[in-house]
Structure 1
Amino acid sequence: MTDHSIKGKTVLIAGGAKNLGGLVARDFAAQGAKAIVIHYNTAATKAEADATVAAVKAAGAEAVALQANLIAAGAVEKLFADTVAAVGRPDIAINTVGKVLKKPMVEISEAEYDEMTAVNSKVAFFFLKEAGKHLNDNGKIVTVVTSLLGAYTPFYAAYAGTKAPVEHFTRAASKEFGDRGISVTAIGPGPMDTGFFYPAEGADAVAYHKTAAALSKYSKTGLTDIEDIVPWIRMLASEGWWMTGQTILVNGGYTTK
């Protein structure tokens, strides 16, 4: 019988230095992962990546930090190759990389659109591609998207719109990799209480988002707490393997599909 636990597994987390990715790394180490590769984007995040590596090692797992700007397909290919060289072929690959832009469509420049497409769509596509090439059989792939995929709202066309293709990437990859026992899912949190959220929102919008979910008053912040998303990623990357090809929104009743 195939072991679908996290114990003894090798894990790659893109965007694993801080926020949700950093907490997932710590949680998986506590679950008995053998080795965790922490990807981070720029030197500005190196200190946080190093702190996450130290926490993972303190929990008893191997850990290494790898820096890369993943908007070039070759950089994603190198990340997986470097992961294999450092700790072996991964069993679990998690992509938390994303970029938010809140702006009316009529004000979005071509350069902004291209950057959003590169970070939110292109990185996700090539991460799935390389995961399909490098993961061990019976592996798990999880991509973080956004609950705005279930929203009817203005101003997020370049954000939710460039995350939306990941739904089909996920379906296609799950069909193509299924013969090897690899499950592929995407998870869309609601607006999370992290530094990723606040710079894009004004005070009025923050106040709205903190009351918009059905369960808002039971959250520490009114927003989606990353501690409430980690168990879902853990489940999808382990015993929840039978779910594949799906995009699920986990947001306390913020949006639904």
Structure 2
Amino acid sequence: MTAPLDGKVAVLTGSTRNLGLATAHRLAELGADVVINYHSADRAAEAAEAEKAIATHGRRVLAVQADVTQAEGAAALFDRAVEAFGRVDILVNNAGLVVKKPIAETTEEDFDRAFAVNAKAPFLTVREAARRIEDGGRIVNVITSIVAFTIPYYGVYAGSKGAVEHLTKAVAKELGARGITANCVAPGPLNTSFYYPVETDESIAGAKSRSVGNRLGEIHDVVPLIAFLCLPEQEWITAQTIRVNGGMA
């Protein structure tokens, strides 16, 4: 049987570990050729390992170092994808940066870094997609369930992700006539290395208590939804934010 994403090309940012890497694996399993993106040269070995692992699904894989917080980097990522595979059909924006501080202690540098990674980079890659993604394409932006409720110290992080939610709705309306969908997936806290560095035992316990299962989310809770939104038949789900958080919001 033909895989549902056979002949499609997926570009994923922040995809050498954790949720991004797992999503890349799943899209390859579904038949897509995959372009994984990483920011800094110190991730090159990790990217090479990811590239080899994804290739075991029998699909073509390309790892591209590009700083997608810059217009040149976002354009270069799409250039490399098109040069290698001839097209782009799917964009998954997964790269992120957490700033967890009281507003009174948040610096301009904190703000600029958070908005560069969490808001500007998705804007730049979505802009490239709006120009170059194939008709019938799929855009999925990973944001956060914190956009749906307020907790202290995440103001800049949630604010930067909230900007992406509105960007996604707008581009969905702009590109809908071409059969292109754009949606946000908003996970709750996940049991990954992305989550723990800014947390304490107390805050982790609090996060767990907000879910019906008294646990953090796992990568396998989120990947199926992202993959589902990338399928060709999901043309009537667009301009939506779908939260995956065990009932926390």
TM range (shorter): over 0.9
* Cα distance in 1 for residues equivalent to 2:221 and 2:152: 27
Is the 1:213–1:254 contact (alpha carbons within 8 Å) kept by the matching residues of 2? yes
* SS across alignment from 2:136: coil
Q: Return the offset for 1:174.
A: 0.6
Residues paired across the two proteins, number: 247
Q: Note the aligned Cα RMSD (angstroms).
A: 1.4
Q: What amino acid sits opposite 1:139 in the alignment?
A: G
* Cα distance in 1 for residues equivalent to 2:198 and 2:183: 27
Is the 1:25–1:52 contact (alpha carbons within 8 Å) kept by the matching residues of 2? no
Q: What amino acid sits opposite 1:72 in the alignment?
A: Q
* Cα distance in 2 for residues equivalent to 1:39 and 1:47: 13
Q: Deviations over 1:99-124 (max 9, x none)?
A: 10110000001111111111111111
Q: Does 1:210 align with 2:208?
A: yes
Query: For residues 46 and 241 of structure 1, do their structure 2 counterparts lie closer, same or farther at Cα, with a shift above 3 Å needed?
Result: farther
* SS across alignment from 2:234: helix
Q: Deviations over 1:123-148 (max 9, x none)?
A: 11111110111111100000000000
TM-score (normalizing by structure 2): 0.95
Query: For residues 4 and 157 of structure 1, do their structure 2 counterparts lie closer, same or farther at Cα, with a shift above 3 Å needed?
Result: farther
Residue in 2 that maps onto 1:250: 244
Q: Does 1:16 align with 2:9?
A: no
Residue in 2 that maps onto 1:152: 150
Q: Does 1:237 align with 2:230?
A: yes
Please, which runs of 5 or more residues in structure 2 have no aligned partner?
A: none
Aligned-pair identity (%): 40
Q: What amino acid sits opposite 2:118 in the alignment?
A: N
* Cα distance in 1 for residues equivalent to 2:135 and 2:38: 26
Q: What amino acid sits opposite 1:254 in the alignment?
A: M
* Cα distance in 1 for residues equivalent to 2:45 and 2:17: 10
Q: Deviations over 1:41-94 (max 9, x none)?
A: 112222221122112211100001001121112211111111111112111111
Q: What amino acid sits opposite 2:44 in the alignment?
A: K
* Cα distance in 2 for residues equivalent to 1:114 and 1:32: 37
Q: What amino acid sits opposite 1:17 in the alignment?
A: T
Residue in 1 that maps onto 2:218: 225
Residue in 2 that maps onto 1:52: 50
TM-score (normalizing by structure 1): 0.92
Q: What amino acid sits opposite 1:252 in the alignment?
A: G
Residue in 2 that maps onto 1:113: 111
Query: For residues 11 and 151 of structure 1, do their structure 2 counterparts lie closer, same or farther at Cα, with a shift above 3 Å needed?
Result: same
Residue in 1 that maps onto 2:187: 189
* Cα distance in 1 for residues equivalent to 2:130 and 2:150: 33
Q: Return the offset for 1:8.
A: 2.6
* SS across alignment from 2:212: coil
Is the 2:211–2:245 contact (alpha carbons within 8 Å) kept by the matching residues of 1? yes
Residue in 2 that maps onto 1:81: 79
Residue in 1 that maps onto 2:126: 128
Q: Deviations over 1:148-189 (max 9, x none)?
A: 011221100010011101111011101111111100001100
Runs ≥4 residues deviating over 6 A: none
Q: Deviations over 1:226-245 (max 9, x none)?
A: 11101000111113331101
* Cα distance in 2 for residues equivalent to 1:172 and 1:6: 26
* Cα distance in 1 for residues equivalent to 2:118 and 2:140: 14
Q: Does 1:64 align with 2:62?
A: yes
* Cα distance in 1 for residues equivalent to 2:24 and 2:235: 19
Is the 1:57–1:63 contact (alpha carbons within 8 Å) kept by the matching residues of 2? yes
Q: Return the offset for 1:4.
A: 10
Is the 1:4–1:241 contact (alpha carbons within 8 Å) kept by the matching residues of 2? no
Q: What amino acid sits opposite 1:47 in the alignment?
A: A
Please, which runs of 5 or more residues in structure 1 have no aligned partner?
A: 217-221
* Cα distance in 1 for residues equivalent to 2:190 and 2:39: 20
